[in-house]
Chain A
Amino acid sequence: MPASVRWPALVALVCIAVMGVVFVVGMIQERRAGLNWPEVAAERDAALVRSVQQIFRSELDDLLGTAGVVRGHAELYSDGGAADRASSFAWLRNLRARAGISVDIIDSTGHPVLWAGRSVRSKYQSLLPGGGIHTEAFITRDGLQTYLSVEVRGDAGHAVVVSRLLESRFPISTRFLRPAHFPAAVFDETGARVGLELDSAGTQGADLLRIPLMSFDGRALAYAVAPAPQQQDAIVGIRQQTQDLLQVLGGIVAALLTWSVVVQVSRGVRKELRVVLAMAGIWAVRLLWIRLAVPAAVMGGALADASLYGSSFGGGLASTPVDLILSGASLLWSVLLLGTLSMRPARTALALVRPVQIRRAVAGAELLIGALVFVLFVRAFAAVLRSFLFDSTAAYQDPTRILPDASTALLLAAMALVASAFYGIFFVLVAVMDVAAQESGGNRASRRLMEVGLSVGVSLALLRWSEETPLWPWYMPFYVAGIVLAHRWWISRPRVGTRAGRVEGWRPTVIWLSAAFLVTAPMFYARVEERERAQVESLAAEVLRPADAWLSYLLTDGIRTVAGIVHGSEGENPFDPAVAPSSALNAWARMLVSRQGYNSGVFLYDSTGHEVDRFVVGIESYDQRAILTKLFDYGEETVQTIERTNGRDVLSVYGIWSTMRSSDGRLLGSVAIILSTGTGILPGRSASLPFRGSGGLPDWRDLYLTEYRDSSVVSTSRPDLFTGIRLGPNVRAALDRQPEFGHWFREQGEDRPYMTLYVRDPADAHHVLAVSITALDIRWYAFTVMKLLSVFALIGLLIAGAQRGWDISRGRRITLTVGQKLFGGFAIIAVMPLIVLGYYNRAVSTERVQDLMERTLRRDLEVVERRIVTYVENEDDFVHGVTDEFCRAVSAEYGTDFTVYRGDSLLATSRPELYRAALFDSRLDGTAYAHSVLEGRAFYMLSQTVGNVPYAVGFMPVNIRGQRAGVVSISTLYRQSDIEREVAERNVNVVGVYAIVVLLALGAGGLLAARLARPLQELSAAARDVARGDFDPQISYRGRDELGDLVLEFRAMASELKRSREDLAHAERERAWKEMAKQVAHEIRNPLTPIKLSVQHLRQAFQDRAADREEILQRVTKTVLEQIETLSRIALEFSHFARMPDARVERLNIHTLLDEALAVFSEVQGVECRRAFADGEIVVLVDHDQMQRVFVNIVRNSIQAMPKGGVVTVTTAVEGHGCRVRISDTGPGIPAGVRARIFEPNFSTKTEGMGIGLAIARRIVEDAGGRIDCESEPGSGTAFIIDLPVAGEST
């Protein structure tokens, strides 16, 4: 079983075993809880107590550690000037911001001298005399919140108190109050929700568990109260936990086993069946995971956040972002598997249909069916893209960011996956249609294109008829088909490959992603515009709707809450002036409105109608008066509303009032409850409660409201409209024709185009509401296209990077071509300024808006400060005259709420209820104290967060007769929306255009890289040709630059090389012929001399009539014939060297050749021939006679070198793709100087022979594609090594 099957199966078995254990443990736990609940309950209680106490202890230790850090910062305790103290305050503020705590440094009298964060106590215990470190923990309840503090006293004369929010007494929305860490930590660890009680005589009950929270000294500081677990609940919880674990493990097992089974079964089956099995396995696992809610059930964060993206389509295919990604990956994988199948069988099957007319008819039907399926898939893709936008809250189009944020990038990546998968489907379908068009007679590309287009058009028409509101523009199927056909016909043609080692695999991926992007972008845009319109329509309906049922419900619930307080077991009377200062706050804190986070207020009146107490957060005084006035004009317990247009929004305030009576019917008082849809806790520019969901337009999107009555403008926030302008006739006609619908119109304003929705109020035919948004032009679309493209490009880079990493891990050496390096350099240089620009754009906008806020705050502070200074005469006046009532009056006068501090403490404010409720700290911020009070800076600004709303707060000293009497502060909503709007505008204007420049630069870079790379590639190929001996390089580059010079020089070099080689060859030939001639002359002279001498001797003998002239004749004849024979042999050898006969190459076993060569010398005495051949045959492609000649020559030389006998050893071996023959002897060896020349023609150390035998041998071996070499050392014998290619490897 291969490893790819074995290991997953093993892991699956382990998981099954774990599942079994989990199941058994779960059953045991459940049974135990059922049968032995008291013991189980006691264990659970003990575990909960341990966990809660440990968490509390860790809170204490954390605070203690922070106190240690502060104590170690010695500079804090130096008695420096104002500047030193300011830097100390700043250091503490930074520490506080990082750690989320409050810090007080108190002196020996118990007063804070340095602080950061909100005050927990205004005065602490005086420091005890004496030395040593003393640590103490305590709990303080301040308004709605409870704080845990750790105080560390040392011998430095100061103590450090570090505090953290422990609990909020009521579950008030985090818009108003920061969440406390301790209850959340307990819930995360134990699942229990705990409350806090400060004394031991708190809530008692059998169903409650009271856990003491211990201090360092073992003293109980407070008690955490948790509901005691119930038996049935615990059993259900055990079952739930077991089920969750089993689901997750089951999902893992299913995936692993499916993988193993599919891989194992697929071995040895046809490719088509393998693909089907693989796809079945993928989708079986996917559907099972959906059923088991894996992995969404165990994941957190953006991946499992259904409010980021969620669709119930397909039973959960995309219920969360992680499900969407998994489904998209499964779809893409399936498409890639399908893509491995060939179209050839289909084409072959079609070609077999006879006669031709029927084949064409079948092809035509296939064409139409394919087109119908294709158009259906285009529709499906449009629906998927629509889901990406409408079922998501991701800010795809957010122009405030150049790159999308993580959650948006996640969804865009999922979109890229799905788009790639759908593109694959389009590719396959269009390929089918193309084949069918070809078979139906459309041989030329244009004819096939026409037939494909017509069939798509027919299918499109059929589908459009059946749909009331089509999902996509009519041209989309043609556009998609066009891209696919271009991909098939032009882009996918194979290109000439480059050298091995260069990565070619990324190119198809890039083309695929690019095509998927081109298909996605237009449809994506159409949906973006559609979503925007839907958001505006929803907003219009919101504006026109009556008192919302939910808000009315909240108000009536508030009345019920107050009734519950009055008639509750504690019998509180909130209308009693004695308890008044906090009764409105307490009532508000218990109401649903506070939990839901609405700006709201509670007003309590006694039985005579006098206001006893009020608590209001986030509603301006003007609106409070207006709604209260309206309320009391109507009967009790009826919801009333007022509306006010505020720039881009309509602010609605709802209210209700009711009387409260005792159980005996006595009138106790009245209560009025109001709430608004504004967001600011502090007054400022209110805005409608922004919906994070898909119904909300982002802040940077300019929105304008205009109201028409009797076709004339009565109110507008659009800058180019004013009261009295008449409604356009085309708008009136459209509204008259279809009054129940909204109508969109594109309008050209004075400075910009608008898209305006006109809606007639269903309850009032004379009232028309117009909602206008700025029409987006090409810059915005270009910017968003760039963002979409950046995600696709990032995915492509990740795939390329992963591929390279894979190659490197497998030891492949990866090189980049010059073109790739050039293009990469261009890309980096082009993109980097974009990123820098985006960063500085935000920084510049933030600075600008902060400047603007600073100017606004400074102006408002100056006005208030002057008013105060005008009102008071001296410092005493300031202390006693500046009261809450005074502040309210001034606030109403100038429309600005403010707060006045004396020293570091609150003196008076126009919003006392907020400070009484401890929503705001009554102590002046530390750094503000340092700069405004100690240093006396004319103006100081900082940012603060109340709840989760950021504010900019300005501070200005109040100088009375030259003395700093106090500090006045004003808050304003941090104008983040202004920053976003400015960043958006600048990003689109600058960055959008720059992005086009970047694309042009990248395109130019790519072209330049290609232009540079091509001539270099040609030069490289030409160099190879020159090395092979082709001195006429084909280089097409004709440029007149450095490259052109290089090409010219290369050509010149090749030409020079060619001439030199010819000269050399000529000189070689001449030298060779001279040598040959010299050798011939020398060789011929040798036999001629004895011939001459013999003939002379014979002539003399006959002239002298010698008696032995017959004998002399015989001797001379013999000598002459011998020399003639020698001359013949010389001529034959020269002939062989000069003209080698044509080789007759055949497949021969080298061992046979060697045996035959050795057989020639089998009779030689004194020489032993040994064989050490490799196993089996070694087949080579050689000429039999020539190769035998080579072996004979070498063996003869070896024998001749051993006149007294020796051993000749012949070995063969296979090395790589060749064979090696080694013929060695035990002769005297060859000196190095001689060895270097033994293969030269006419070189010989022997007295006989021409010395061309080894030259011939080398020529024969080299012609056979091999090489011959000689190894020898004097005294060690000689070895000749012949390497020949084995048959089959050489061509």
Chain B
Amino acid sequence: MLGVMRRQTAILMSALLLSGTAASQPPGRTGPVPSVRAVMQHAQPNARIAAIRALFDRVQRSMTSGSVDGMSADLAPFVDVNIVGEEPGRYSANQAASILGRFYLARKPIAFSFTSIVDTLSLPYATGPISSIRRGNRETAQVYVSLRRIGSRWRIAQLNIY
């Protein structure tokens, strides 16, 4: 009896295992390629603008406080980063957040706001000056943030501080 039960269990487990492996992706297929020309017409224009503005608000709050946490979830899987004093390049979201964190480590932001927000293009962007204190001296830099539609959300695709 015990032997029969064991055999049946083995058959059941094998079936579960095979079905689990069958759930894997077929070869040759990959995830969605970032489609930068695909303007999401599904969303209403007002909702689109509201989403963009909300994201820029989060970025503004986060940068004013000198923290990465408020905007790290909004970073695209790959972000073009060009921050003064750091190596420019295309980085993963995790790495971009770390690089921005290093920027804040050396400087204490004291004021930041977006002075220009362009939300009508397929790649919305915003710019504004950021003032920070570094070693007792005030520094001013310009911030540029541009967004890209990835899936159903807007994400930060480029972040420049120059």
Contacts and interface: CB of A to CB of B under 8 A. Distances in A.
Interface of A: 190-193, 227, 229-230, 233-234, 236-238, 240-241, 293, 296-297, 304-307, 309-313, 316, 319-320, 387, 390-393, 450, 454, 457-458, 460-465, 469-470, 474, 533-534, 537-538, 540-541, 544-546, 548-550, 553, 592, 595-596, 691-696, 734, 738, 740-746, 757, 759, 761-763
Interface residues of B, number: 65
B133 A237 contact: yes
A785 to B, nearest CB: 23
Contact of B90 (A296, A592, A694, A734): A694
A296 B137 contact: no
A402 B80 CA distance: 31
Nearest to B142: A592
Contact of A457 (B14, B25, B146, B158): B14
B81 to A, nearest CB: 7
Contacts of A230: 138
Contacts of B136: 191, 229, 233-234, 236-238, 240-241
Contacts of B162: 592, 595-596
Contacts of A470: 24
B36 A550 contact: no
B95 A193 contact: no
14 contacts: A233-B138, A311-B95, A311-B98, A390-B95, A391-B91, A454-B13, A457-B17, A461-B20, A461-B21, A534-B78, A549-B158, A550-B146, A553-B127, A762-B35
Given A234-B136, A297-B105, 7 more contacts: A233-B133, A237-B137, A240-B136, A391-B98, A592-B162, A744-B29, A763-B37
B113 interface: no
Contacts of B9: 454
Interface stretch (B46-54, B56-64, B117-125): B117-125
B76 to A, nearest CB: 10
A307 B38 CA distance: 30
A247 to B, nearest CB: 10
B33 A741 contact: yes
Of the listed residues A454, A538, A596, A757, the one surrounded by the most CB atoms of chain B closer than 10 A to its CB is: A454
A312 B14 contact: no
A926 B102 CA distance: 44
A293 B125 CA distance: 32
B44 interface: no
A91 B124 CA distance: 56
Contacts of B146: 549-550
A240 B66 CA distance: 13
Interface of B: 9-10, 13-14, 16-17, 19-21, 23-25, 27-38, 68, 72, 78, 80-82, 86-92, 94-95, 97-99, 101-102, 105, 108, 110, 121-125, 127, 133-139, 144, 146, 158, 160, 162
Contact of A550 (B23, B29, B160): B160
B33 A759 contact: yes
B158 A550 contact: yes
Contact of B137 (A233, A450, A454, A596): A233
Contacts of B98: 306, 310-312, 319-320, 391
Given A229-B136, A312-B94, A313-B94, A548 B99 contact: no
A596 B72 CA distance: 25
Q: Which label, helix, strand, loop or mixed, suits the secondary structure of the A interface?
A: mixed
Nearest to B2: A441
A758 to B, nearest CB: 10
A759 B29 CA distance: 11
Nearest to B89: A693
Nearest to B146: A549
A546 B134 contact: no
Contact of A692 (B38, B87, B108, B124): B87
Nearest to A734: B28
Contact of A691 (B20, B33, B90): B90
Given A307-B87, A553-B127, A763-B37, A312 B101 contact: yes
B35 A740 contact: yes
B33 A742 contact: yes
B119 to A, nearest CB: 11
The 7 closest A-B pairs by CB, nearest first: A237-B136, A310-B98, A693-B89, A191-B135, A461-B20, A695-B90, A549-B123
A240 B37 contact: no
B22 to A, nearest CB: 9
Nearest to B27: A744
Of the listed residues A533, A549, A746, the one surrounded by the most CB atoms of chain B closer than 10 A to its CB is: A549
Contact of A694 (B95, B102, B137): B95
Nearest to B33: A742
A266 B92 CA distance: 43
A335 B137 CA distance: 46
B16 to A, nearest CB: 4
B101 A306 contact: yes
Nearest to A761: B37
A227 B158 CA distance: 31
Contacts of B138: 227, 230, 233
B28 A745 contact: yes
A392 B30 contact: no
B90 A693 contact: yes
Given A454-B13, A692-B88, A541 B33 contact: yes
B20 A742 contact: no
Contacts of B135: 190-191, 237, 240-241
A474 B21 contact: yes
Of the listed residues B33, B88, B101, the one surrounded by the most CB atoms of chain A closer than 10 A to its CB is: B33
Contact of B36 (A537, A544, A746): A544
A458 B36 contact: no
Contacts of A316: 101
A444 to B, nearest CB: 14
A233 B140 CA distance: 13
Given A454-B13, A538-B78, A741 B20 contact: no
A550 B37 contact: no
A538 B81 CA distance: 15
Contact of A229 (B94, B134, B137): B137
Contacts of A691: 80, 88-90
Given A546-B122, A693-B89, A694-B78, A743 B16 contact: no
A746 to B, nearest CB: 8
Contacts of B139: 193
Contacts of A465: 19-20, 23
Of the listed residues B14, B121, B138, B160, the one surrounded by the most CB atoms of chain A closer than 10 A to its CB is: B138
Contact of B25 (A192, A310, A469, A696): A469
Contacts of B30: 533, 537, 741-744, 757
A742 to B, nearest CB: 4
A393 B98 CA distance: 13
B80 to A, nearest CB: 7
Contacts of A464: 20-21, 23-24
Nearest to A470: B24
Contacts of B38: 740, 762
A411 to B, nearest CB: 12
B78 A474 contact: no
Contact of B13 (A293, A310, A457): A457
A460 B146 CA distance: 40
A460 B13 CA distance: 11
B23 to A, nearest CB: 5
Given A695-B89, A741-B29, A545 B36 contact: yes
B107 to A, nearest CB: 9
Contacts of A746: 28
B31 A741 contact: yes
Nearest to B35: A762
A546 B28 CA distance: 27
A450 B10 CA distance: 9
Contacts of A541: 33-36
Given A319-B101, A454-B10, A391 B92 contact: yes
B37 A762 contact: yes
A938 to B, nearest CB: 43
Contact of A461 (B16, B72, B133): B16
